[in-house]
């Protein structure tokens, strides 16, 4: 499964992001007390002046003891900029539950210190599911060479009948020479009547290529 996820992620990035691969791609690795994870999020226009672009998300969770608890989530979306930070999106979503076409909206605000993404989405299938995915990152300058790094990646997924999954992945650390590292806390809630599960550890995030 891990090989399939990595191959799907690589294909998604290469197909969608080929015009922008000269730009660095950020990847995060987290090692916690219950599982390790990787997280890759890319959001780029096809050209610097284009209203068309791509959004790619790959998340892989690897449980230390029970492979059946491993998780994957891959989004490959094309987007059209509508103005004022709003986009319309369409593409494909793949997880351990299967594959489905998907469509939605995004609101993006990117500043020097603050990045915000809010992305409601619907998976177009016989039993439609819905999700709201969000990212917020705050990177104020602390000293000449050090920035604070505070981030959250949030998901709420549901269908017409029940809650499917939610998570709140929180990061707090510093950024030095383009590398962010620090404390990672992942909170997860699965199913219609979920119990809170947590994974606490350390993360490293770096732009590669």
Q: Is 63 helix (H, G, I), strand (E, B) or coil?
A: strand
- pTM above 0.75? yes
The count of other CB atoms within 10 Å of the CB of residue 14 is 11
Question: pLDDT digit string (tens) for 174-206?
Answer: 999 999 999 999 999 998 888 899 999 999 999
> 110 lies in which domain range?
2-208
Q: E strands along the chain, which residues?
A: 25-32, 35-45, 52-63, 71-83, 86-95, 98-110, 114-123, 129-138, 146-159, 163-176, 179-190, 196-208
CATH number reported for the structural domain that contains residue 171 in this entry? 2.40.160.40
**Residue bearing the bigger pLDDT, 203 or 66:** 203
Contact call for residues 53 and 44 (beta carbons, < 8 A): yes
Report pLDDT for 127.
Answer: 83
- pLDDT average, residue stretch 137-161: 96
Structure tokens belonging to residue 205: 């995030």
Q: Please state the domain count of the chain.
A: 1
Report pLDDT for 144.
Answer: 95
Report pLDDT for 2.
Answer: 46
């Amino acid at each position: 499964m891990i090989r399939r996820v990595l191959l799907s992620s690589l294909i998604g990035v290469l197909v969608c992001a080929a015009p922008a691969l000269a730009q660095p791609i950020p990847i995060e690795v987290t090692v916690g007390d219950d599982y390790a994870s990787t997280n890759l999020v890319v959001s780029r226009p096809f050209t610097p002046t284009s209203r068309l672009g791509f959004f790619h998300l790959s998340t892989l969770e690897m449980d230390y003891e029970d492979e059946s608890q491993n998780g994957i989530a891959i989004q490959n979306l094309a987007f059209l900029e509508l103005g004022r930070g709003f986009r319309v999106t369409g593409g494909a979503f793949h997880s351990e539950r299967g594959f489905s076409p998907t469509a939605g909206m995004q609101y993006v605000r990117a500043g020097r210190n603050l990045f915000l993404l809010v992305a409601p989405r619907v998976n177009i299938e016989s039993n439609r599911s819905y999700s709201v995915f969000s990212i917020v990152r705050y990177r104020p300058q602390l000293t000449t060479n050090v920035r604070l790094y505070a981030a959250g990646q949030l998901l709420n997924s549901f269908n017409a009948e029940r809650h499917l999954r939610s998570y709140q992945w929180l990061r707090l650390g510093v950024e030095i020479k383009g590398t962010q590292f620090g404390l990672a806390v992942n909170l997860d809630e699965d199913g219609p009547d979920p119990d809170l599960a947590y994974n606490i550890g350390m993360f490293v995030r770096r732009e590669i290529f």
